Amino acid sequence: MRPTTPFQSALEKVNNGTKPEVVAAELVASMTIDEKINCLDGAVPFWVGIKDITTGGYHSRPFRAAKVERLGIPGFHFSDGPRGVVVGEATAFPVSMARGATFDPELEERVGDAIGKELRTIGADLYGGICVNLLRHPAWGRAQETYGEDPHHVGEMGAGLTRGAQRHVMATLKHFALNSMENARFGVDVTVDERTLHEVYLPHFKRIVDEGVACVMTAYNSVNGEWCSQNEALLAEILRGEWGFAGFVISDWIFGVRDGVKSLQAGLDVEMPYRMIRNAPIVAALTEGLITEELVASAVTRTIATMLKFNVGKLPLLDRSVVLCKEHLVLSQEVAEKSMVLLKNDSVSGDKSLPLELKSGSKIAIFGRLAAARNIGDGGSSDVMAPNVVTPLVGIREHFSNCEVVYDPGLSFEEQMQVAKKSDVAIVVVGYTKEEEGEFIGDSEDTVDMVKQIPRQDDPVLAGEYEKYMRDNHYFAPDELRIKSRNGTFSIGGDRDSIRLLDEDVQMIRAVAKVQPRTIVVIVAGSAVVMSEWINDVPAVLMSWYSGINGGRALANILSGAVNPSGRLPFVIPKDESHLPFFDRNAKKITYDYWHGQWKLDRDGNTAMFPFGFGCSYTQFSISSPEIETTELIKFRCEVSNTGSLDGATVVQVYAGLKDSEVERPKRRLVAFKRVVLRAGETKQVECQTSLQSLATRNTKTHSWFVEDGLWNFEIAQFSGDPMALLLEFSIRKRIDL
Ligand code: BGC
C-alpha cells in the first residue's frame, strides 16, 4: 500500500533503512510551532482530563500524547503497569517483587511478552511497567512494584521484562531516580553522593537502557536539590550523556513537572498526562526569545524518532481473545509457583511440616481474613482488574477436595483455637492489603502551590478532541473490579507504618500455634516483614506475595508438594527494624548512603533472620567443582546436584568481595545468578557470567570507572553468606580503567 500520510512515508523510510532520527527531524521540520508545542505534553486540557480520571476514566483507556492529526502522527498510547495491563479486564501476574523471587529473567521475559500482547488489544503502544527503583527499605509502599534490593538482580529482571514487552510495544523505565518512598514522593529531596548513586541506585537503570528501552519516566521527588523532571545532572549528563540513551523522556503523572522551561532544557520531552505546568511558560519563553524553536524541535524529534523506530502506528492490533487466555493464566500460575519462598520448614513429630501429606478425610483449618480475600496488590496505578481471582481458600479447597477444609472468618481467638486443636493442620494467612501498602493516593501539601500553575480554562479545541478520544476508547471492566466503584475513591495505600504484622494477625498466629503444632504461616506482602516476635512459635513459614489471578492454586500446589518451592528472597529479612536504614515516610529531606539491605547487615555485623537469596526446598542441593575463567567476561562454572529424593530447582548465586579494598565496599555483592532445575539425583554443569563492570568502582574525580587491583574472592553459593559457599580467588595485579 502506498503511504497516505507524511507519518506513513516516514515509517516506510525507516523500514527501508534510513535512521529514525533523520526521518523524524524531517517530519518535525514540517510541523508548525503549535503542533510541536502540542507534542510537549499530553495535549489534553487539564480540567477535562482530571474530570475523566476521577470519574472512572483512569484505567479505562490508555493516555495519549504526541498526536499530530495533519501529518498522520498517531501519538503514543501509554498504559501501566508492572503486574499486568490496567485498562479493562486483564491477566494479573504476581507482583514484580514476587517475580524477583523467581530469579528467572527468561520467565520474566515471557511475562513481558504476555503483557505486551494484552496491551495491543487496547491500542496501547507504550508500556509503563518497568519499575526498578531499588528497595532501600521494606516500608516503601510501592515495594511490590520493583524486584528487590540488589542492583544486579533488579537490572537483570527488568531487562527481561523489557525484552519481552518490547516485542510488541515500547516500554517505559521508571521512576528515574531514587523514588523509593511513597507518601513523601511529591516533596522529598534525596541527597546522594556520586559513588552511591552510580554503584547502588543507578546500575539497574543503566542495564535496562543498554537493553534498548524506548522511554524513561522521571520521578516525582528531587535529587540533590533538583526535581527529577528538571534535573540536568540526571537527564542530560547521566542518562543521555554518559549512557547515550536515545529514546524519549516523559514525566510522572499529575504534578510530575515543576518548572516547564527548566524541564525542557534539562531534557524532559513530554509532560504527562495533561497540559498542566509546562505549556504556558514554554510559550512565553519562546515569545520572549529565552528559548529557541530548535530546543522544542529536539524534544519532539526524540519522541517521534522512537515511535518510528518501534513502528508505532503500524503495530498489529490484537484481538481481545488474547486477554486472560489460557496461556496467560497458566503462565501467571507458573510464575506464582516459582515465586513463593519457603522460609522455614521444621519437623513436627519427626516429619517436615511441609509438604502436607494428608490422608483422605483429614481436616484442614484455615484462618485469617486474607484467606478468602481478592488480594492481588496495590490499588493505585498498578491495579489490574482481573476477574475470578483464585483466593488461598478456593485454591486449597479445590486441591484438597478429599479433605475437610474449615474456614470461618467470624471466629474469636478462643473459637479459632478450638477449631485448630481438632484439625490435622492449620494454615494461617496473614499480611497486608492495598490499604496497608501501595501507591499513596491522598492529599499532599507538597503540591498545593502547583495548582496555581494550572491553566484556568481548557482550550475548547483540545477539549473537544479529548472528549472524542474518550468516546472512541473506553474499555469496560465490571463495576466490582473498577477503582471508581470503591466508594468513588482510590485506596489510600502509602508506605507501611510498621514492617511487622498487624497485632491481630500476630495474636491469631500465637493462639492457633499454641494448640496446633502443625501451624503453617502464609504471608501475603510486597516486601520484608519482621517476624521475630512470633517466628519461634510456628514450624513453617511461606512467603506467598500478592500472587496474581491464580495465586490460590499455586499456593495449594506448593503446600501439597505438587510443586517444589524454589523462590528465593530478593531482599534480606532482618531480625529487627533497627538493622535497616533510617526511614521516615514524611521526610522532607533524606540522605541515601551506600548501605541498605543485606550489605548493611553484613557491614554492621547483624545476622539476618533470613538472608538475601535464601529459600528452602523439599529437596537438597549441593555445589561442587567451581571454576573461574576470565576473558572479556568473567565466567563461573560449577556442578550442581540435587541430592534429595524430589525434583526441584535452586538458584546458583555468585557473590564478589575484595579484602583490603581501598574503598569501603560490601562484604559480598551479587554479580551473577542462575536458576537451575534438577531432577532428583541429577547433576548439571552450570555456567554464569559477569562483566568487569560489575566489580567496578566509580572514580569521583574523573567520573569514570576502574576495577581495583587485589585479591578478589567469589563465593558460589545458594544465598548470601551461605556457609556451604565455595570460594574462588582471582588476583587482579594492576588496576584496570574501564
Ligand atoms: C505513578 C506512575 C504511573 C502513573 C500513571 C503515577 O502516579 O507514579 O508509576 O505510571 O501514575 O498511572
Cα 711 from chain centre = 35
User: Residue 367 pLDDT > 70, yes or no?
Assistant: yes
Output the pLDDT for position 729.
95
The whole-angstrom separation of Cα 77 and Cα 506 is 45
Task: Provide mean pLDDT across the span 308-319.
Answer: 97
Grid cell in block for residue 722: 551461605
pLDDT value at 482 more than 80? no
Strand runs (DSSP E) across 235-284, as ranges? 248-250
Ligand 1 contact, 395 CB (< 6 A): no
Q: In this model, does residue 408 exceed pLDDT 70?
A: yes
Q: How confident is the model at residue 691 (pLDDT cuts 50, 70, 90)?
A: very high
- Segment 413-427 shows an average pLDDT of 98
The stretch 651-666 carries a mean pLDDT of 96
Quick one: pLDDT band at residue 477, thresholds 50, 70, 90?
A: confident
User: ∠ CA(541), CA(543), CA(548), 5° rounding?
Assistant: 145
Report which of residues 632 and 119 the model is more confident about: 119
628: helix, strand or coil: strand
| Domain locations in the chain as residue ranges | 6-322, 332-437+494-590, 619-737
Pocket flag, ligand 1, residue 142 (CB < 6 Å): no
Is the pTM higher than 0.85? The answer reads: yes
Residue 124: the pLDDT is 98
* CATH class of the structural domain 619-737: mainly beta
CATH 3.40.50.1700 fits 332-437+494-590, yes or no: yes
Which residue has cell 543485606? 598
Q: What is the pLDDT of residues 31-45, one digit of tens each?
A: 999 999 999 999 999
Q: Sorting pLDDT into bands at 50, 70 and 90, what band is 688?
A: very high
Three-state secondary structure call for residue 171: strand
Query: Residue 414 pLDDT more than 90?
Result: yes
Ligand 1 pocket: which of 133, 181, 439, 446 to mutate (most atoms within 8 A of CB) = 439
Query: Which of 95, 42, 249 lies closest to 567 in space, CA to CA?
Result: 95
- pLDDT on residue 489: 55
* Alpha helix ranges (H) inside 54-129: 96-100, 105-119
Q: For the ranges 239-253, 452-466, 705-719, which has the lowest average pLDDT? A: 452-466
- The pLDDT value given to residue 157: 98
Terminal-to-terminal C-alpha distance of the chain:
49
Count of H-run helices and E-run strands, the chain: 20, 28
Listed in sequence order, the DSSP H helices in 454-522 are 460-472, 503-515
User: How, if at all, do strands 215-218 and 248-250 pair?
Assistant: parallel
pLDDT at 486 over 90: no
Query: 253 alpha carbon to ligand 1 midpoint, in Å?
Result: 6
pLDDT at 487: 47
Is 70 exceeded by the pLDDT of residue 491? no
Cis peptide preceding 81, ω within 30 of 0 = yes
pLDDT at position 442: 75
pLDDT of residue 483: 62
| Ligand 1 centroid – CA 31 distance (Å) | 30
Is ligand 1 within 6 A of the CB of residue 127? Answer: no
Interval between CA 128 and ligand 1 midpoint (Å) = 8
Mean pLDDT (whole number) for 266-287: 97
| pLDDT for 185 | 95
Distance in angstroms (rounded) separating the CA atoms of residues 216 and 250:
6
CATH superfamily of the 6-322 domain:
Glycoside hydrolase, family 3, N-terminal domain (3.20.20.300)
User: With a 6 A CB cut-off, is 172 part of the ligand 1 pocket?
Assistant: no
- Which residue's C-alpha comes closest to atom 7 of ligand 1? 253
Positive or negative CA dihedral for 581, 585, 587, 590?
A: positive
Which of ligand 1's atoms lies nearest the C-alpha of 80?
Answer: 10
Confidence band (pLDDT; 50, 70, 90) for 478? confident
Q: Is residue 693 within 8 Å of 204, Cβ to Cβ?
A: no
Pocket of ligand 1 contains residue 381 by CB under 6 Å? yes
Cα 396 to ligand 1 centroid, rounded to whole Å: 35
Arithmetic mean of pLDDT over the chain:
96
Cβ(253) – ligand 1 distance below 6 Å = yes
* pLDDT attached to residue 501: 98
* Closest-lying ligand 1 atom to the alpha carbon of residue 254: 7
User: What is residue 64's three-state secondary structure?
Assistant: strand
pLDDT score recorded for residue 490: 60
For ligand 1, the distance from its centroid to the CA atom of residue 217, given in whole angstroms, is 9
Q: Tell me how far the alpha carbon of residue 112 lies from the centroid of ligand 1, in angstroms.
A: 18
Half-sphere exposure at residue 375, Cβ-oriented, CA atoms within 13 angstroms: 27
Among residues of the chain, what percentage have pLDDT more than 90?
Answer: 93
Distance between CA atoms of 319 and 323, rounded to whole angstroms?
A: 8
